[in-house]
Chains A and B, each alone.
Chain A
Amino acid sequence: EIVLTQSPGTLSLSPGERATLSCRASQSVSSSYLAWYQQKPGQAPRLLIYGASSRATGIPDRFNGGGSGTDFTLTISRLEPEDFAVYYCQQYGSSPWTFGQGTKVEIK
């Protein structure tokens, strides 16, 4: 099973700042089958990015995904108030699909 490790655990930033989140896999994720989700308290996760860098329908272009192999990043270019949430990465290249433990982006 592929283990995903996200860092940092918590990111304290101000609105307007840039956020960079990391997701590292214990082994190479085939075909960059890596996704990112946003989750707010009491809500279901929301798909942001799939295929490492493709934005899901309706996702603003301030969200960008990148990386390949074992190292992936999610960048939020300028944080809006609604972006403060927990973010999870997920790999779907190797069964079982697995998720990272999450990065919380909080208001500084």
Chain B
Amino acid sequence: QVQLQESGPGLVKPSETLSLTCTVSGGSIRSYYWSWIRQPPGKGLEWVGYIFYRGSTKYNPSLKSRVTISIDTSQNQFSLKVSSVTAADTAVYYCARGRDVPDYWGQGTLVTVSS
């Protein structure tokens, strides 16, 4: 059974960079697309972007200039960086397997942007 686990700081200061890692276990990170989706507290879901195991990426244009997704196949991990964060970036961040309709999701991690 594939499992995903997000990790990273739960508190980030405004204007700094949010960094999260997703560790995949129970299966290989190869041959799949991997996504990040976020959900502000009490609100709906927002697609952030995805990466193919070979490294190609696609991002939501609303975030594109601030987002970077990378992958480390040797560690079975992929990562998310969001630069110049504001309070609007406060959300539960989910990592997931799949490009269009993710079928396996991590439990999510809350990242709060506050000074």
Contacts and interface: CB of A to CB of B under 8 A. Distances in A.
**Chains A and B belong together in one complex:** yes
Contacts of B101: 35, 47, 50, 56, 90, 92
A97 B105 contact: no
B108 A90 contact: no
DSSP class of B's interface residues: helix, strand, loop or mixed? loop
Interface residues of A, number: 22
B44 A56 contact: no
Contacts of A56: 101, 103
Given A44-B94, A90-B101, A99-B44, 20 more contacts: A33-B100, A35-B101, A43-B107, A44-B105, A44-B106, A45-B45, A46-B105, A47-B101, A47-B102, A56-B101, A57-B103, A90-B45, A92-B101, A96-B61, A96-B62, A97-B60, A97-B100, A98-B47, A100-B44, A102-B44
Interface of B: 37, 44-47, 58, 60-62, 94, 96, 100-103, 105-108
